[in-house]
Amino acid sequence: MVSQSIWIGIIIAVFFVGVGVSYAIFSSTFDPNSMKFANQENVMNKVSHFEIPYEDQERAQKFYQEVFGWEITKFSDEGYYLAFTTKSDPNTMMPSEPGAINGGLLKRDSTAKNPLLVIDVPNIDDHIKKIEDAGGELIMPKVSVGDSGFFARVTDTEGNVIAIWQQLKQ
């Protein structure tokens, strides 16, 4: 019988061999000079928010608060809860830390089966058209979120559901 420490050693060795092979493949095929954003001329829409569906709101809230230390706050009577993952401006609810994002927890439905990323766009109608022209599909029409902005859910060409957001006021 093989001892537990030998098995652990084998597992660690296999892990590091895998990491080494992955690095070798990546470093031999990746050319940083080919990156289009090297000249900063391309405008890129940024991921600004995430949403995680729940079946049981109290259970999900407890999980994310206890495991990650997030602050979960009820936002609407429709079952939407804000998830603060970092210190945020109390007036705008936007993260104070550059590059950080907050998110939300929402009741699972046919358009929100899995966690999704929310991408900022300057004009939601233009982007819905761009998405459809590129082979994506609108699955939840544009909705107004108070006087904050517009929101829609779409699928990409691979069937992944993503959301787009147009901010109205800063």
Q: Are residues 62 and 20 in the same domain?
A: no
| Parent domain of 21 | 4-30
DSSP H or E stretch at residue 10: helix 4-29
pTM for this model (two decimals): 0.70
Percent pLDDT > 70 in the chain is 75
Length of the chain: 170
- Please give the single-letter amino acid code of residue 28: S
CATH number, domain containing residue 161: 3.10.180.10
Q: Are residues 16 and 85 in the same domain?
A: no
Q: Are residues 62 and 95 in the same domain?
A: yes
Q: Are residues 12 and 95 in the same domain?
A: no
Residue 18 placed within a domain = yes
Radius of gyration of the chain (CA): 21
Q: Which residues are 112's β-sheet partners? A: 109
**Could you give the number of structural domains in the chain?**
2
pLDDT at 158 over 90: no
Q: Are residues 26 and 93 in the same domain?
A: no
Q: From CA 168, how far away is CA 148, in angstroms rounded?
A: 5
pLDDT at 115 over 60: yes
Q: Are residues 100 and 25 in the same domain?
A: no
Q: Are residues 102 and 126 in the same domain?
A: yes
Q: Are residues 91 and 12 in the same domain?
A: no
Residue 70 placed within a domain = yes
Residue 39 placed within a domain = no
Q: Are residues 112 and 79 in the same domain?
A: yes
Q: Are residues 154 and 113 in the same domain?
A: yes
Q: Are residues 154 and 99 in the same domain?
A: yes
Q: Are residues 146 and 67 in the same domain?
A: yes
Residue 38 placed within a domain = no
Contacts of 116 (CB under 8 A, 6+ apart): 50, 51, 153, 161, 162, 163
pLDDT at 26 over 50: no
- In the numeric block, which tokens belong to residue 6? 């030998």
* Tens-place pLDDT, residues 30-67: 676 666 655 566 678 999 999 999 999 999 999 999 98
How confident is the model at residue 29, as a pLDDT? 66
